[in-house]
Amino acid sequence: MTQDIEFRSGSITLLRALDKSPERVSVHIDGRFAFSLHQDVVLEFGLAKGKSLGVEEQVRMVRQDLVLKARVLALRYMAYRDRTAAEVRRRLRKTYSEEIADEVVGGLRASGLLDDRAFAEAFAERRFRQEGHGPVRVRADLLRKGVAPAVLEAALDAVFVEQDALADRAVEVGRTWWERLSGEPDPMKRKKKVCDYLVRRGYPFDLARRVVFDLARETDRQA
């Protein structure tokens, strides 16, 4: 990024807002265009016509401009839906250096705009309540999203702490699939298909097997 600019010490001879992006300011040093900066960076560094700028100071302000651009990109990316820190970092790394990506993510975390624990709990709750996913499936999904194991385990504990609720949801999900397979003539195949389905949805195998056993027994009583 900054390596594409040829920095030279000198004095500011012109500061002018860009026509197409008035929030950005072109900086001219010794009569030549040097680079453009966001107006917030111009104010932060106190730039004014006649001010002398060394190379190091120019590098710092251009880098700060990149951080600001990266933060805007991150916020836009986060606006579509909740994101994990790892997802935001991966998106930033497509355009910016690792150093800038880490700085932006760190700032968003410090301000509370990025919170993997809150994300993991909301994600787990939504997947469990709305989609019927169990803890095994949710754990795998959160790992793929880059949530740290300790963070996701704490979130899973918070959401799946009520074993009765987990069992009740497994019965609901299992019963739906069990009824869909009412035309299966082979009872063993029906049981296996429902058990496999529950496991794919993220329920522990022992729980899935118990649910299938109860559903089969319930069906036998109704026959």
Looking at the structure, tell me whether residues 148 and 200 fall in a common domain.
no
pLDDT in tens, 47-62: 999 999 999 999 999 9
Tell me how far apart the alpha carbons of residues 52 and 57 are, in angstroms, rounded to a whole number. Answer: 10
Tell me how far apart the alpha carbons of residues 132 and 26 are, in angstroms, rounded to a whole number. Answer: 54
Looking at the structure, tell me whether residues 140 and 198 fall in a common domain.
no
Instruction: Identify the bridge partners of residue 29 per DSSP, sorted by sequence position.
Output: 12, 32
Looking at the structure, tell me whether residues 23 and 81 fall in a common domain.
yes
Structural domain count of the chain: 3
Write out the residue range of the structural domain in which residue 131 sits. 115-161
Q: Residues 12-39: what's their mean pLDDT?
A: 93
3, pLDDT greater than 80: no
Looking at the structure, tell me whether residues 133 and 187 fall in a common domain.
no
Q: Supply the pLDDT for residue 2.
A: 57
Looking at the structure, tell me whether residues 65 and 8 fall in a common domain.
yes
Contact of 187 with 216, CB cutoff 8 Å: yes
Q: What is the DSSP letter of 34?
A: E
Helix (H, G, I), strand (E, B) or coil at 38: strand
Looking at the structure, tell me whether residues 6 and 104 fall in a common domain.
yes
Q: 47, 78, 110: which is the final residue of a domain?
A: 110
Looking at the structure, tell me whether residues 122 and 70 fall in a common domain.
no
Domain holding 195: CATH number?
1.10.10
Looking at the structure, tell me whether residues 29 and 55 fall in a common domain.
yes
Q: Supply the pLDDT for residue 53.
A: 94
Q: Supply the pLDDT for residue 106.
A: 96
Q: What is the DSSP letter of 127?
A: H
Closest of 153, 96, 104, 95 to residue 124, by C-alpha = 153
Sheet hosting strand 32-38, strand order edge to edge: 32-38, 24-29, 10-17, 52-53
Q: Supply the pLDDT for residue 100.
A: 96
Closest of 212, 215, 218 to residue 192, by C-alpha = 212
